[in-house]
Structure 1
Amino acid sequence: MKKLLGLLLACLLAGCATAPAPTSAPAASAAAIAADLIANCSRLLGRTIPASEIGIPSGAARITGAVPEEASRLAVADRASSPAAAVRPALPRHCKVEGRISPLNAQAPDILFQVNLPLQWNGRSVQYGGGGFNGTIVSGELLLPAQPFDQPPPLAQGYVTYGTDSGHQHVILRSPPQAFALNDEALVNFAHASYKKVRDVAVSIMKTVYGRAPEKMYFVGSSEGGREGLAMAQRYPADFDGIFSRVPVIEWTGLQHAGLRDGLALLNGGWMNHEHVQLVHDAVLAACDAADGAADGIVSDPVGCRSRFDVTKLRCAGKAAANCLTDAQIRAVQTLHARLDLGVELANGLRSYPGRGPSGEATHAGGSAGGWEAWWTGSRSPDIPPVPANGIAWSFGAGAIQYFYARDPHADVRSYKAADHAARVRAVSALMDATNPDLSAFQAHGGKLILLENLGDYAQSPYAGIAYHEAVVQRLGRATADRFFKLYTAPNVDHVGTGAPGNADIFPALVAWVEQGRAPAGLVLVEQDVRPPFKVTRSRPLCEWPQFPHYRGGDMDKAGSFACAQ
């Protein structure tokens, strides 16, 4: 039997036409298939997936690497961009496949991808979204966004996992990460096409190796990857059964223009150092922390905090000092909190971007600055062009203005106006903004969508995702929307998950909703040590918007001491 199954798998890897593998194969047969997958992994090298197997216009795909990977142990890096990124989870033996998809235009870059094939496949797959401006391959080997650190990643649970660089390769220090957008095909790939193409290539590889297509397909992404997940639901509604989108940069065009505006507000005396950031953070806590009944360093209701916190009360009475803000600094904070009207109609009838804050101004990520210091103020006033010491939102926004909208690497962002580039702004918005509220096709397919917004986020405005959920409810009706779309919020949590409890078993809840029809309920946010055994230090209930945690007595570090309420 083992020899026969080995010949069958070898035939599959060579591209033979065979019938799908039986779904009720005995355990011994499954073990034999697993052993032969490792033995035959390298036989995938050099295979071509024709363009006809990709559902949109594309070049062919070619497998450039196929390597059997041995099992690895859990490890934690000393430094990383976020606590979750520091965790290198234990992985089982698997076949790692790498490849590239050729462009339609020879001047465009290839799309690079990685697919991980487990020995014991559960018949499902997870596509990982990217981050920032992408440009590096997403391996599909790490924890999912918001996944508790002590839980196994999907690959260790038997899922095929895969990711892509989104169709361009960024070489650090050689060019700005936005430079690829000068190529039209690379921009379309970044917007949506690469994720669809890689999804179809991954399905072809699964059919080849396992003899059948996946039974269920999931997409999970955070930040830019969260936008990608929403784009898949809107543009390719039949491709995924479940999507989890965390802190998505959903109103992408508005966000880049807000990054420019908020950075410019720090010039001419508006910039704030670490002491000033801490001053505002402490003032916000003094005004809003106890409003939920618990003075615990977490602002549970930042919307209500907007009316309770008055930044003008921090105005210096005389000379500038560390314990007060100048008029220029107060105007900068007011600018950050204010809605931005672009003066141009964007995709799906939008024309503005919501403000950010208050709460989470001085959070920290993995020992480095988070909150304002990571995303807005940086460690020095904005430079032109941006430098690494500047806030990330300024670096991203200023670069996007030059390469995506003005399409001039030398454009002076200080004099840029969206109205002067209205046609281009609208064109990029139609590509990049994942704001189409008509999810009826995704819902009809049976798809389920979970959106998580971190309310202390300064990389993007959490109120953009909240507004999108409201738009879907308005378009489809509350009863219909509730059957397939849930919005959760994590108070005080930064973009990368720090500042308060920010991890939860959201992916298992999504799978249960898709496959068992059991809607998510009773989810709990946890904050953990980033060292084994990943002790939980605080927890809170994960509340469905517009509810937030209210203290009802007991240990303030325990979720059971809080209840979700409006």
Structure 2
Amino acid sequence: MFKMQPFCNVTVSYTHPGLNDTIYVEAWLPNEDDYNGRLQSLGGSGWTAGRFVLQYGGMINAVANGYASVTTDAGVPGDLTDWLFAIIAKQLIKSFYGKAPSYSYWNGCSQGGRQGLKLAQQYPSAYDGIIAAAPGINWAEFFMNTIWPLFYMESTQQFPRGCELDEITSLAIASCDELDGVKDGIISDVDACRQSFDPFKQIGKSFHCSGTNSKIKISHAAAAVANASWSGPRFSDGRFMYYGFEIGTALSEVAPTKCTGDTCVGTRQDFAFAYQAFVNRKVTTELTNITARDFDTLYRNVKLLYASNLETNDIDLRDFRDAGGKMITFHGLADTAISPAGTLDYYNQVSDFTGNVTSFYKYYRVPALKHCWGGNGGQPEALFSQLRAWVENGTSPEDSPVVIAGLGNSTQQQIICPWPQTARFDGSCSAKNSTTCWSCKE
């Protein structure tokens, strides 16, 4: 439970003349004796800019640690408000405490991560430090990946049981678990696992299916759907569109089915709804006999609709770097919403463009962590304090401690490392459940 500290809630509304909008900025200001002189703004989630239950939970934590904390509903979809509410927040803090905050931080994941990148790209002086976790960078592409497994099942008429997909995931974990030097029930080296584990070689293997309460065999359909989910969406001519989910992700969540007897069907109609909303512009229309060309058409329409105001794939962060900004991105390798490979691709492009990227921007891949939190991977809770030390003291973050949910309901102390380093376990270490047994290696 968070400890609730007393604070003053100052909510400001403003509008842009002629746009018929109303935007709310909500600031929680701790008592002067508790205030640490710093601003922590909370980003949004999903399709929401902020000012909802997840942000309020984060604000409670921020205020408890002495931060003035701010969130906004943005009024309407857009990004200018992310910058404007930083200005408003700083003015409120100056009025309330008599001086501006010493340092300002952005802390966001998913939509909030996307907002953080947008701030670094377009408003490089707004924040001194930014956590931009699991960001929705290429909005159209990652959206297409979320519906790709569903489209693949519909277009190929292959609907495996969920237990089959779960079994393939379990077999992948068993095969790749110890690639990092320790058996802990998670996949840490997803790149090596992709090279060594073939879902089609699992066809015909028997296992107990909880859904049928009987022993069944892994089908070709299950292997095909797993492979498609990991490979990611393709255009109708086979060209690469975007990155898929990482191996070890819960496949039954990204490709859900419902079975009656021996007949299974998809349980979500995301592609049909998206096509109706973004192509036909009428959600009540029927959609049957969908084709790969329909998938191409949907991508083009989503790209036209969202690219200009939601994508955050600008790789030129030199202004942010030159303003003295520091940024950390982390992404769970078991994310079922946004492909972590897309985030890695963006980071590598920034690195190639700017050079010496780790002087101001670091990226951490978190094994077995789901979207922002959850899963068996450890929550990288120390990264925010490491960001603050980087901004205020020049202490560049290296490894960061996490606690993973290991085998047999156990927990294990591990570390995550800044890319391109990965965590490696020292098998000769005597303190098996200690971060001292781990080191970062390229």
Please, what TM-score do these two structures have when normalized by structure 1?
0.67
Asked if 1:475 is matched to 2:353, the reply is yes
Structure 2 counterpart SS, 1:352:
coil
Give 1:552's match in structure 2, choosing from 406, 426, 439: 426
Partners of 1:520 and 1:317 in 2: CA distance? 45
Give the match for residue 308 of structure 1. 196
Alignment of 1:208-247 (within 5 A): 208-247=95-134
Give the direction of change, closer, same or farther, for the CA distance of 1:254–1:104 in structure 2 (3 Å limit): farther
Task: Summarize deviations over 1:481-514 as a string: whole Å, max 9, x none.
Answer: 1210111111122222321223331111101111
Kept in 2, the 8 Å contact 1:451–1:487? The answer is yes
Q: How far is 1:339 from its partner?
A: 3.8
Give the match for residue 370 of structure 2. 494
Structure 1 counterpart SS, 2:153:
coil
Alignment of 1:80-479 (within 5 A): 89-105=2-18, 108=21, 110-120=22-32, 121-134=35-48, 137-138=51-52, 140-143=55-58, 153-167=61-75, 186-187=76-77, 189=78, 192-267=79-154, 269-316=157-204, 323-341=216-234, 352-361=241-250, 372-374=251-253, 376-378=254-256, 380=258, 390=267, 395=270, 402-403=276-277, 407-410=281-284, 412=287, 414=290, 416-419=294-297, 422=300, 425-426=303-304, 428-477=306-355, 479=356
Give 2:360's match in structure 1, choosing from 484, 488, 492: 484
Partners of 2:41 and 2:149 in 1: CA distance? 33
Q: How far is 1:555 from its partner?
A: 5.1
Q: How far is 1:537 from its partner?
A: 2.7
Partners of 2:159 and 2:136 in 1: CA distance? 25
Q: How far is 1:453 from its partner?
A: 1.5
Q: Given residue 562 of structure 1, which amino acid in structure 2 is its aligned partner?
A: W
Kept in 2, the 8 Å contact 1:141–1:161? The answer is no
Q: Given residue 543 of structure 1, which amino acid in structure 2 is its aligned partner?
A: C
RMSD, aligned α-carbons: 3.2
Q: Which runs of 5+ in 1 are unaligned?
A: 1-73, 75-88, 145-151, 168-185, 345-349, 362-371, 382-388, 530-534
Higher gyration radius (CA) = 1
Partners of 2:162 and 2:319 in 1: CA distance? 48
Structure 2 counterpart SS, 1:275:
helix
Kept in 1, the 8 Å contact 2:124–2:323? The answer is yes
Structure 1 counterpart SS, 2:201:
helix
Task: Summarize deviations over 1:447-486 as a string: whole Å, max 9, x none.
Answer: 0010112112121111111111100011111x2x121011
Alignment of 1:14-29 (within 5 A): none
Structure 1 counterpart SS, 2:221:
helix
Q: How far is 1:354 from its partner?
A: 1.0
Structure 2 counterpart SS, 1:218:
strand
Partners of 1:538 and 1:482 in 2: CA distance? 28
Structure 1 counterpart SS, 2:130:
strand
Q: How far is 1:195 from its partner?
A: 1.7
Give the match for residue 179 of structure 1. none
Q: Given residue 242 of structure 2, which amino acid in structure 1 is its aligned partner?
A: Y
Partners of 1:484 and 1:340 in 2: CA distance? 32
Alignment of 1:65-80 (within 5 A): 74=1
Kept in 1, the 8 Å contact 2:276–2:282? The answer is yes
Q: Structure 1 vs Structure 2: percent identity of aligned residues? A: 24
Give the direction of change, closer, same or farther, for the CA distance of 1:136–1:401 in structure 2 (3 Å limit): farther
Task: Summarize deviations over 1:58-78 as a string: whole Å, max 9, x none.
Answer: xxxxxxxxxxxxxxxx3xxxx
Kept in 2, the 8 Å contact 1:300–1:492? The answer is yes
Partners of 1:407 and 1:519 in 2: CA distance? 49
Q: How far is 1:119 from its partner?
A: 0.7
Q: Given residue 325 of structure 1, which amino acid in structure 2 is its aligned partner?
A: I
Give the direction of change, closer, same or farther, for the CA distance of 1:261–1:237 in structure 2 (3 Å limit): same
Kept in 2, the 8 Å contact 1:360–1:499? The answer is no
Kept in 2, the 8 Å contact 1:265–1:331? The answer is no
Give the direction of change, closer, same or farther, for the CA distance of 1:256–1:119 in structure 2 (3 Å limit): same
Partners of 1:335 and 1:522 in 2: CA distance? 33
Over 6 Å off, 4+ runs: none
Task: Summarize deviations over 1:108-161 as a string: whole Å, max 9, x none.
Answer: 5x33332101113222111111111117624654248xxxxxxx9221122110
Give the direction of change, closer, same or farther, for the CA distance of 1:556–1:409 in structure 2 (3 Å limit): farther
Q: How far is 1:103 from its partner?
A: 4.7
Please, what TM-score do these two structures have when normalized by structure 2?
0.84
Task: Summarize deviations over 1:56-109 as a string: whole Å, max 9, x none.
Answer: xxxxxxxxxxxxxxxxxx3xxxxxxxxxxxxxx11211011234333545555x
Q: Given residue 547 of structure 1, which amino acid in structure 2 is its aligned partner?
A: Q
Q: How far is 1:299 from its partner?
A: 1.1
Kept in 1, the 8 Å contact 2:160–2:219? The answer is no
Give the match for residue 512 of structure 1. 389
Partners of 2:252 and 2:10 in 1: CA distance? 39
Partners of 1:401 and 1:194 in 2: CA distance? 30
Partners of 2:439 and 2:192 in 1: CA distance? 18
Structure 1 counterpart SS, 2:24:
strand
Task: Summarize deviations over 1:189-224 as a string: whole Å, max 9, x none.
Answer: 2xx123223222222322322233222111111111
Task: Summarize deviations over 1:311-334 as a string: whole Å, max 9, x none.
Answer: 01222389x986433233222111
Structure 2 counterpart SS, 1:463:
helix
Kept in 2, the 8 Å contact 1:380–1:390? The answer is yes
Partners of 2:314 and 2:274 in 1: CA distance? 22
Give the direction of change, closer, same or farther, for the CA distance of 1:236–1:410 in structure 2 (3 Å limit): farther
Partners of 1:438 and 1:486 in 2: CA distance? 15
| Number of aligned residues | 416
Q: Given residue 369 of structure 2, which amino acid in structure 1 is its aligned partner?
A: V
Q: Given residue 338 of structure 1, which amino acid in structure 2 is its aligned partner?
A: S
Partners of 2:83 and 2:163 in 1: CA distance? 46
Kept in 1, the 8 Å contact 2:109–2:132? The answer is yes
Q: Given residue 118 of structure 1, which amino acid in structure 2 is its aligned partner?
A: P
Give the direction of change, closer, same or farther, for the CA distance of 1:299–1:250 in structure 2 (3 Å limit): same
